[in-house]
Amino acid sequence: MEQNGTKENGRSEETPAPGPPQPVHVQDIRFTKIFIDNKWVQSSRGRTFATFNPATGCKLCEVEEADETVETLDTGKPFLQSLFIDLDGSIKTLRYYAGWSDKIHGKSLRVGDITKHEPVGVCGAIIPWNFPLLMFMWKIAPALSCGNTVVVKPAEQTPLTALHMGSLIKEAGFPAGVVNIVPGFGPTAGAAIANHMDIDKVAFTGSTETGQLIQTAAAKSNLKRVTLELGGKNPCIVFADCDLQLAVEDTQTGAFYNQGQCCTAASRVFVEESIHDQFVRLSIENAKKIVVGDPLDPLTSHGPQIDQQQFDKIMDLIESGKKEGARLEYGGTPVSNKSLFIQPTIFSGVKDHMRIAKEEIFGPVQCIFSFQSQEEAIRRANSSRYGLVSAIFTSSMDRALSVSAALETGTVWINCYNSLHAQTPFGGYKMSGIGRELGEYALAEYTEVKAVTLKLKEAV
């Protein structure tokens, strides 16, 4: 699943203000209840919560809130990204793991000794708001291919995609209880999954801080298995011998894709000193072509942030960058006073001690650093508590391979960015997580290995 295809979206020479809000057809939103045992049920406490369109601020509907038990509208991401990245990637993930369902087998170790791979049991999946459809598939596809059942808690900001998937799961003829969907909030529904004594494994994608809480709850309950895909402060190292235009476009796509609301965001771009100024100039020129506007408009390539809380956090970090001495080269302001749109923002002259260099911004902010030597670039790239992804841009494959071996990240992209495939494992080092999603490696997260030894009679 290539995620660096956003360049094919329409562009304009300057960043325009978003167009007038389009009407939301709320009558098309039919699935708002909790999905358990292939039935739509109401909250046991009779509570609901509202979900909003971040592009317009309009309320979409009320969703039933689970307790201790439509992608573009819900997330605000541009329509073409939802169609060609999220939907296409989801289909590919399902097809990949459907192929594994009859190929999960053990080994014959010697005469009388075999291993079996058995389902873990009931798997809890807690998914984030930035990729609600794709993360739904990343969780349920390997779990189901291994024979497990799943309880999914979508993010409270974006529950509609998962609930619509519930209707399709029922229509497809899944047995009752195989997939259950419980919209709600982290401290209630999410905590219930992490603490539940009858849930055998939990898979979570989200912040490092919440991941720590989930791991603690899992340990204190039934010591359930945990996989965590957490935050990132991802370094890109751009060497002077690279294809400069490619490096500019790919690192910027990495920084601004989904309005920067990605754990894989290219948030630290280290550029060799001899090409630093040219790289900054080209990055500014490229940013001016990004189309900010209505996510339902096919020409739009940049939408709103997910909610006011996220918007305020990003603006606070932008202000900190200014105060701490980074050079604001482009953007840095809201697009209007009555929306959640933030201009694509570029800082140069960023130093390693600054907040924008250390904290996960989760917004459309590109931070550009300069370096003099390969050893310096590697040392600074690794000087983070995170270790999710990284990228290298160079024409030397010897350099690319040696630097990739030195980088402390779970994924290294060479002369590309956000190139994710269902066959390739994904996960992080250090505080970016535990375990792997996607590929054959993910199957090990959803199976128990049983050794069976049979004593054979000696031949007469």
- The Cα 236–Cα 417 span in angstroms is 9
Cα Rg of the chain, angstroms: 23
DSSP summary character for residue 257? G
The token duo for 19 is 């167009």
Please give the full DSSP string across 9-64, using - where no structure is assigned: S---SS-PPP-PPPPP-GGG----SEEETTEEE--TT--EEEEE-TTT--EEEEEE
Rounded-to-integer distance, Cα 201 and Cα 446, Å = 8
CA distance 144 to 42: 26
Q: Terminal CA-to-CA distance of the chain, rounded, Å? A: 58
Two tokens at 441? 């490696």
Active-site position among 229, 249, 272, 329:
229
To the query of whether residue 229 is one of the catalytic residues in this protein, the response is yes
Q: Find the helix or strand (DSSP H, E) in which 202 lies.
A: strand 201-205
Tokens of 171: 């229509």
The residue type of 144 is L
Give the HSE-up count for residue 190: Cα atoms under 13 Å, Cβ half-sphere.
19
Residues carrying an active site annotation: 229
